[in-house]
Structure 1
Amino acid sequence: MSHTGFPVPLREIAMHYILMYEYAADYLERRAEFRDAHLKLAWASHERDEFQLGGVLADPVDSALLWFKTDSPAVVEEFVKADPYVRSGLVLNWRIRPWMTVAGEQADAPIYPG
């Protein structure tokens, strides 16, 4: 067992990654100009089976979560570099976190009770 409590080291498991965006205060007012290009990027990544799901957090609309499934965070970093929302300043800060999924149909490291 690894130091994380998982049966194998994390580096040996295909990971899910969460990309977190923090939006500018005027995000809603400015996004229209960049939205199609942002969505094209997301759907192209989805077609490569990298981007799984994503969207804005509501009430307030100040951030977003995007879920990727890939062997490397570099794929997510490339998405960020190409994203018109980031390049135009709509995204003030972003962060990538590995997400160890252990329960559910799409879990990469399922752990069952008992």
Structure 2
Amino acid sequence: MYFALLYETVPDYVQRRAAFRSEHLALAQQARQEGRLILAGAFDPPDGALLVFKAASAEEVEAFARADPYVRNGLVTSWRVRPWTVVVGGEG
């Protein structure tokens, strides 16, 4: 199953993320290497982000969000996980 993790971020997100960026990217890279995180990135302008997961359950994605230093340190004001039905793509 695919899931979209949607983040909304604080207005000064870009300025505040430096202190947590390496830890955030390490968490994302680990999820990527495990085959769970497919795509991830901030919107432009950076008022939020989208992370696409391939996971067995929404709980796996929720656990990622709770562990994310951006969430733990208040850079993400809200987040939600939505199941995503892929109609085109997603092979492999």
Q: TM-score range by the shorter chain?
A: over 0.9
Q: Kindly provide the amino acid, as one letter, of the partner of residue 41 in structure 1.
A: L
TM-score normalized by structure 1? Answer: 0.78
Matches within 5 A, 1:22-101: 22-58=8-44, 60-101=45-86
The count of corresponding residues between Structure 1 and Structure 2 is: 92
Give runs of ≥4 in structure 1 deviating > 3 Å: none
User: Structure 1 residue 107: deviation in Å?
Assistant: 5.2
Higher relative contact order (CA 8 A, sep 6+): 2
Q: CA deviation at 1:102?
A: 1.4
Q: Give 5+ residue unaligned stretches, structure 2.
A: none
- Percent identical residues: 48
Largest Rg, 1 or 2? 1
Higher helix share: 2
SS at match of 1:31: helix
Q: CA RMSD in A?
A: 1.2
